[in-house]
Amino acid sequence: MKRRAEAVLQFNRFYRKFLGARHSELPRTSFSLTEIRILRELESGRTDTAAALARDLTLDSGYLSRILAGFERQQLITRRASEADARLTHVSLTEAGRIACASLAAAAVGGVMGLLAKLSAAEQQQLVDAMEVVQRLLG
């Protein structure tokens, strides 16, 4: 069991390093990885409150609030108090925010396509299948 736990942790370290390297290869962006995660989460429509964003992305609420304030200044999001519960703040992307997300998504897909191009079609499918297994088992 310990050996398997260490193998999972080793994979996690590898994948975090891999993602960091991939981020540096993307076209220049002013967004940090955390900011990109927030924008993508908002774009998905699964999360619409600041509290849910903080919970789902495991972010400190103060840190998230500062990022959201920056997004608001850049006119990427709008925030409004919930009518049902004043403690909640609804967050949504503006048109500029959706455009920024589309640009980031296109760059990400292009980067992954470049990575996949180095693999044979069979290797690509093997990688996708393995990733689906990881998601199914841990999700």
Burial class of 83 by CB neighbour count within 10 A (0 to 12, 13 to 18, 19+): exposed
> Residue 38 sits in a domain of what CATH number?
1.10.10.10
Segments in 45-120 forming alpha helices (H): 50-56, 61-73, 95-116
CA distance 39 to 33: 10
How many domains would you assign to the chain?
1
Banded pLDDT at 25 (limits 50, 70, 90): low
pLDDT, tens digit, for every residue of 32-90? 889 999 999 999 988 889 999 999 999 999 999 999 999 999 999 999 988 888 888 89
Give the gyration radius of the chain's Cα atoms: 18
pLDDT, tens digit, for every residue of 80-99? 988 888 888 899 999 999 99
**Element housing 44 (H / E):** helix 33-44
Please tell me the predicted confidence (pLDDT) of residue 42. Answer: 96
The number of C-alpha atoms within 13 Å of 7 and in the hemisphere containing its C-beta is: 4
User: How many beta carbons lie within 10 A of that of residue 54, not counting itself?
Assistant: 19
User: Residue 54: which of 30, 89, 21 has the closest Cα?
Assistant: 89
Name the residue range of residue 8's domain: 2-138
Whole-prediction pTM: 0.77
